[in-house]
Structure formats: structure tokens, C-alpha cells
Amino acid sequence: MYDYVIVGAGSAGCVLANRLSVDPAIKVLLLEAGGPDDSPLIHTPAMMAMLPDTSHDWRYRTAPQMHCNMRRFAWPRGRVLGGSSSINYMIYTRGHARDYDYWRQLGNPGWSYQDVLPYFRKAENNERTENQFHGRGGPLNVADHRFRHPLSEMFIAAAVAAGVPRNDDFNGAIQDGCGFYQLTQKEGARWSTASAYLRPAMGRPNLAVVTGATVCGIRFSGHRAVGVDYARRGRFDNVQARREVILSGGAINSPQLLLLSGVGPADEIRQHGIDVVHDLPGVGRNLQDHLGTFVRYEINQPISLFGTTPEQLGALQVQYAEKREGLFTSNIAEAGAFVRTNTRFDTPNLQLYFLPHCLTDSPQDAFQPNRHGISLAFHVNRPGSRGRIGLASADPIDQPLIDPNYLSDPADMPQFVTGLRRMRTILGNDPIGGLLGRELGPGAEVRTDSEIASYVRDRASFTVFHPVGTCKMGTDSQAVVDPTLKVRGLDGLRVVDASVMPTLIGGNTNAPTIMIAEKAADMILAAG
């Protein structure tokens, strides 16, 4: 028997495993459906585009999206130690301070920006700076790029020429502006939560880590969670939790496991022949994600990432292996910006990602450039659209129903339309503007609002890998967990991951998920 059983060794689960097992008297079990993070593709930053649809990915697909011409979207999610922090683009942003103040306004005391900032700082080892916003000495290494592509430098200059202020710290006093992202890297390699938190703790005798373990259900005694059932190597087993079961499977797996275990909307659970343990209507609802789109151009100089010869790749590999320097240290999306498309927005409503290569139309090979060019991707920071996670069947091996319901809120599309016009304006400025050839997407002929909207719905949209909200924190009727992240109406059960975010923050979600786990660990230890 263990004191705590943690389900999911991702961005949150690795943090919890480390922090809870610091006390040698506390026995912790961490269960992960995926395998070890031993692939060189994981640790070599520039290889991250090769990780989706491998054994390290859950290979999720959404339901056909009504407002995107019934297209299905691939949703990469990490199925490996470190979870999505082992396959993401390593961008370290936290969102805007007002995002967290809004969480507090929604009825979540202890979650304002001033409440959560100490946990961001506690987690962080920022190589560049230590101040009121940034910490040094934490497990999560945050670094500047060791390599910066010349086109990324030129994008920032073009954005400044377009009136976007230069900003060297998106996580400081001001988020607005353009600049280089900081990364979760250390010495030129990916620094996932498996590297930062789990590996230093794995030698502790009171922490057990089991990989290849697919959790099939939560065991209850009345309304108390007492353990979990899991499958591993063709066999079924179960384990008991003396104090708590903690779900850290993320915005897809955590609600799916609750539903499979009889916790959620009673009617939906019964439809799949599952006994209802607790009727909790909000489980799986409130799904939010950053939907991205982009503009892309040919350029008239052969300086993009396209066309690298085998000899050049070999030299880059040697450079990386020997010195941890060069292009292989890059996350490719090196530079970006936070901008507002209208003065009515009190925070930046778009986030931008510049890519020194030309994306293609095909979702299957979008990141395999076929000509010299550039791309500028962006997403709406706080979309109004809401979707859900549901069950496709009562079989825990089946993929769940994933329906983000993209573009269902009428307020979302106008931001994409004005955003795409803003991208064109930025890229039209020198020094990038002087390199531009033909606009490949959406194409110079796409000019009107309706034409741009059709482009977004038809071809250019993709997930930016930030699903949240499906076990939202709060006190209203749709809340799944309370502000201490305990599942409402049940004992011995918490959810600690991105699913508890009541609203999507304006930025990348990995750092906020780590912050949530840091704060949760303190709450769990204080509760005893």
C-alpha cells in the first residue's frame, strides 16, 4: 500500500512525485502508461517535430469539427515519462497576470497572480536573471537559445518596424511585444519534468515508478477513492492508496478516467453500462484549446531551413554531439510576439510564433518544407469556443471522444481575420519584407473577411497543443474540483494537471501546469 498513487508521469505528475517523496515516511507510487524517455529524438531539441505519431504520443484524433469543414485534427499528447513536456516545443511562457486574477474572481481563492507567482519562481532556475518575477535554484532550467536563426532575428526587426515593441521577457512586468522565447532546456538539451523533477527523485526508496501501466479505473469504497486498477504487459493489477489517488493524466486522460470510473454526468456514464459512483456534470466539459493558423511565403534568398544537404546535416550532428551547439539546439519556433488587434483588449489577444521555414498545406507533412520560405503562426489567446471530452466506449483502451468544438463561438473568427491581416502587415516590413516572394497561404487573392474566414476553416487551422479545462476548478455547478483540487463530493481524490484550469491562459500551458503541481504539492503535504 502507498500513501499516494499518482496517475500520469507528465508535466504535473513528475513534479508531484518529487515533492511528495521528499519526506521518507511518505510512500509514493507513480504510474505511467508510456515508456521511459530514452529516445534521442526527445532530448535533441530540433527533433521535436519527429515525435508525434510515434510510441511517445497518444496519437489522439478529434471528432470531425463542424465549423472547420468536418476536418479531424491530430492532437499530440505525450505518452512517456515527462508527458507532453517530453514532446513539446519547450517554450517557457506563463500567460498574463490577469489570467490568474480572473481565476480568483471566478471563486478560486489562492489562485491570483500574486498567489501563484511564488510557485513559478520556486520551480524555476532561470539562467539569465533572478528578480521579482524569476527564480534561480529551482528544478526547471529556463535558458536562452544557444542558436538563433538569422531569419528569426529579421522577424523581430520587422515586427519592431511594424510598431510592436521589443520585449526580452514575456514573463516579466509586461507581456506585450516581440522577442525570443526562453526555453525549458539545459546545456542545449530538452529539460522536461522527467529530467528536472523525476530523475533526481528516482533513487528514493519511498518512490516507485512503474511505466507501461495503463490505469483502467479508480477503486472506491463508498465515496472514497482507495486505489486504482491498471493493466501492464497483458496482466491486470491493482494498488491501494492510504491517503489519496491523484489524477495527473492531463485534460484528456483525467476526465476519461473519471468517466470510466463512474464519476461524471450520470446519463453519459449509464449510456456506456458503467455504474454511477458520483453524478458530477462538469467532468469532461469546458474543454478549451488554442487553435492556430498561419501565413506563409516563399522568400527570394536560400537562407531558410529548406535544402539542408546530408553533408550539412552530418556536420550539424557532430556539432551538437560534441559541443551541444548549433541548429540542433533550436526549437525552430525561436521568436514570437504577444499583440493586441484592437484597443478594446486589455491584454494581448494573439500569440505569434515565427518559423524560418515554409509550412505546407498538408497536415501530414506541414513541417516538412518543400521550398525556401517562412511562416508566421498565431492563435487567439482566449477563445470563447468550448468543447468536451467524452467516452467512445467503456473500454479504457479505446480513445475517448475529443470534441474541441473549434470556432463555435462567433467572437473567435473575427480575431483570426484581423490577426491574419496583422501578420501580413508585420511581414511586409523590412528586413523580412525585402525577402518576400509569393504568398502561398492564404494567398494574395484571399483579401475579404469572408475569404480569410474560409481559409481558416478549410485549410490553415491546427492545434497549438494547449487543451485545458475539462476538470475545472471552482465552486459552481460545473466545477469538478474545488480550489484545493479535491474532486467535489468525493474523498481521497484530487486532480492536478492542466484540466483544472477554469479558463485558458494567454500563453503556452506547460509552465502553468508545473506551477499548479508545485502549489498542489504544498496543499497536499499541508493536509497530511
Q: Catalytic residues, which ones?
A: 466
Based on C-alpha coordinates, what's the Rg of the chain?
Answer: 22
Give exposure, 274-305, as e/b (b: 16+ Cβ within 10 Å).
Answer: beebbebebbbbbbbbbbbbbbbbbbeeebbb
SS3 content of the chain, % helix, strand, coil (to 5): 30, 25, 45
**Is the previous residue joined to 431 through a cis bond, with omega within 30 degrees of 0?**
yes
Instruction: Say how far apart CA 77 and CA 86 lie, in whole Å.
Output: 10
Alpha-carbon distances, residue 472 vs 62, 285, 462, 469, 526 (angstroms): 20, 8, 24, 5, 22
Name the DSSP class of 363.
T
Give exposure, 90-101, as e/b (b: 16+ Cβ within 10 Å).
Answer: bbbbbbbbbbbb
Please give the full DSSP string across 77-100, using - where no structure is assigned.
Answer: -B-BTTGGGGTS--B-----HHHH
C-alpha cell at 208: 516507485
Q: Give bridge partners of residue 354 from the DSSP assignment.
A: 335, 376
The C-alpha angle 349, 298, 316, rounded to 5 degrees, equals: 90
Q: At 487, is the secondary structure helix, strand, or coil?
A: strand
Instruction: Say how far apart CA 319 and CA 329 lie, in whole Å.
Output: 10
Query: Which of 231, 286, 265 shows the shortest CA–CA distance to 7?
Result: 231
Query: Which of 148, 150, 125 shows the shortest CA–CA distance to 325?
Result: 148
Instruction: Say how far apart CA 13 and CA 79 lie, in whole Å.
Output: 12
C-alpha cell at 247: 489524477
Residues in the chain: 528
For 217-262, the three-class secondary structure string (H helix, E strand, C coil) is: EEEEECCEEEEEEEEECCEEEEEEEEEEEEECCHHHHHHHHHHHCC
User: Letter for the amino acid at 73?
Assistant: F
Cβ neighbours of residue 250 closer than 8 Å, sequence gap 6 or more: 8, 10, 11, 12, 77, 83, 84, 467, 497, 498, 499
E strand residue ranges, 360-428: 373-380, 388-390, 401-403
Instruction: Say how far apart CA 55 and CA 403 lie, in whole Å.
Output: 23
Instruction: Say how far apart CA 431 and CA 109 lie, in whole Å.
Output: 48
